[in-house]
């Protein structure tokens, strides 16, 4: 059921303990929103634990409080008890088994994905917000919480990563005002971007191998890297690979396809014009108009053929 941000703040302010969770394969916005909210709640004298059903990239060690995050996969039977589960940056179907392991708890959901399925008990959705972290910033204002360095580092990171460091079309004047306020509260943009961008030598070698598979199609409007399992199994990350593809002149839709297991391909898309959220949804996935993803249960060649057919139909 959809509620307003003020109603969400009201529910939070009268409760005492929370489990905070996010989507699997957590990105900077998911982790930054979760940890930012944890420090906001703790500052109000409440208890909050972040539990995620996945591991996270070591680049996120810059985030305050990251060492306190519980990876459910390390103890999958662990059960949690609190007044509410707060699910951020995703719908219920994308957070693995965390909600199952929080028996009899109501779910408060805060999200900016237009594809949110509205299955949580209470949902505040703002599909125009560039990042969930910007919504958490607004929530903190409603709750009249003062920002400290811990909150600032996390919320800044969330806003920065989902806006491509304030370059994507989702960036609004308000986003930069919020980010400026996070800087005043102690976030250091240079330190945060250095920590997030650093890559190992092996990763750059992996990027070089991945770029060998680059292909242009649909009259130059689509460019993709299509990585077979033999390449994927040796990669420690593909973070940032799609950015190398989306900058090619004339390209509208950029694609990163990974054969995660034989016969199972994970696809990410970025676009300048075409609605890739609709493409992802027609493949059983979701996301935003300019950034979306899906999983296709087919071998790489067939998954690629199917994806390009759907993209071709959707190109503007
Ligand atoms: Mn997000």
**Spans of all domains in the chain:** 5-197, 201-314
CA of 103 from ligand 1 middle (Å) equals 26
CA of 159 from ligand 1 middle (Å) equals 8
Residue spans of beta strands (DSSP E) within the chain: 17-22, 47-52, 70-71, 84-88, 106-111, 122-125, 215-217, 222-227, 253-261, 264-271, 286-287, 291-296
CA of 302 from ligand 1 middle (Å) equals 30
Longest CA–CA span in the chain (Å) reads 58
CA of 182 from ligand 1 middle (Å) equals 18
- Helix residue ranges, H only, 77-217: 132-142, 149-162, 173-184, 189-197, 201-211
Q: What whole-number distance in Å separates Cα of residue 312 and Cα of residue 250? A: 15
CA of 112 from ligand 1 middle (Å) equals 7
CA of 146 from ligand 1 middle (Å) equals 23
Q: What is the pLDDT of residue 162?
A: 96
Helix, strand, coil percent content, the chain, rounded in steps of 5: 40, 20, 40
The whole-chain average pLDDT of the chain stands at 96
CA of 107 from ligand 1 middle (Å) equals 18
CA of 277 from ligand 1 middle (Å) equals 14
Q: What is the pLDDT of residue 239?
A: 83
Looking at 1.10.10.410, 3.40.50.720, 3.10.310.30, 3.20.10.10, the CATH number of the domain 201-314 comes to: 3.10.310.30
At the fourth CATH level, the homologous superfamily of domain 5-197 is: inorganic pyrophosphatase (n-terminal core) (3.90.1640.10)
CA of 94 from ligand 1 middle (Å) equals 13
Q: What is the pLDDT of residue 269?
A: 98
Q: What is the pLDDT of residue 62?
A: 97
Q: What is the pLDDT of residue 316?
A: 85
Q: What is the pLDDT of residue 240?
A: 85
CA of 220 from ligand 1 middle (Å) equals 29
CA of 75 from ligand 1 middle (Å) equals 26
CA of 23 from ligand 1 middle (Å) equals 10
CA of 48 from ligand 1 middle (Å) equals 20
Q: What whole-number distance in Å separates Cα of residue 207 and Cα of residue 220? A: 22
CA of 187 from ligand 1 middle (Å) equals 19
CA of 32 from ligand 1 middle (Å) equals 10
- Give this prediction's pTM: 0.86
CA of 230 from ligand 1 middle (Å) equals 30
pLDDT under 50: residue ranges of the chain = none
CA of 113 from ligand 1 middle (Å) equals 7
144 by Cβ neighbours in 10 Å (0-12 / 13-18 / 19+) ranks as: exposed
Q: What is the pLDDT of residue 279?
A: 97
CA of 60 from ligand 1 middle (Å) equals 15
């Amino acid at each position: 059921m959809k509620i307003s941000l003020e109603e969400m703040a009201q529910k939070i302010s009268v409760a005492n303990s929370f489990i905070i969770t996010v989507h699997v394969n957590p990105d900077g916005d998911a982790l930054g929103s979760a940890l930012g909210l944890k420090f906001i709640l703790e500052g109000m004298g409440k208890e909050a634990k972040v539990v995620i059903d996945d591991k996270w990239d070591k680049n996120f060690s810059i985030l305050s409080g990251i060492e306190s995050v519980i990876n459910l996969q390390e103890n999958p039977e662990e059960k949690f008890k609190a007044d509410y589960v707060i699910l951020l940056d995703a719908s219920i179907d994308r957070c693995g088994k965390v909600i199952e392991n929080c028996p009899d708890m109501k779910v408060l959901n805060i999200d900016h994905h237009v594809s949110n399925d509205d299955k949580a008990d209470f949902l505040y959705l703002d599909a125009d917000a560039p990042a969930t972290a910007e919504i958490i910033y607004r929530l903190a204002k409603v709750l009249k919480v003062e920002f400290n360095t811990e909150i600032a580092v996390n919320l800044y990171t969330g806003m920065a990563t989902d806006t491509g460091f304030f370059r994507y079309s989702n960036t609004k004047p308000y986003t930069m005002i919020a980010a400026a306020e996070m800087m005043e509260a102690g976030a250091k943009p240079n330190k945060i971007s250095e920590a997030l961008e650093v890559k190992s030598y092996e990763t750059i070698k992996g990027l070089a191998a991945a770029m060998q598979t680059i292909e242009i199609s649909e009259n130059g409007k689509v460019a993709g890297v299509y990585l077979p399992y033999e390449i994927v199994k040796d990669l420690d990350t593909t973070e940032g690979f799609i950015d190398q593809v989306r900058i090619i002149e004339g390209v509208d839709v950029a694609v990163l396809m990974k054969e995660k297991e034989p016969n199972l391909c994970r696809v990410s898309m970025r676009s300048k014009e075409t609605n890739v959220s609709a493409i992802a949804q027609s493949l059983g996935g979701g996301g935003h108009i300019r950034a979306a993803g899906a999983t296709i249960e087919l071998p790489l060649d067939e998954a690629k053929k199917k994806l390009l057919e759907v993209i071709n139909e959707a190109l503007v």
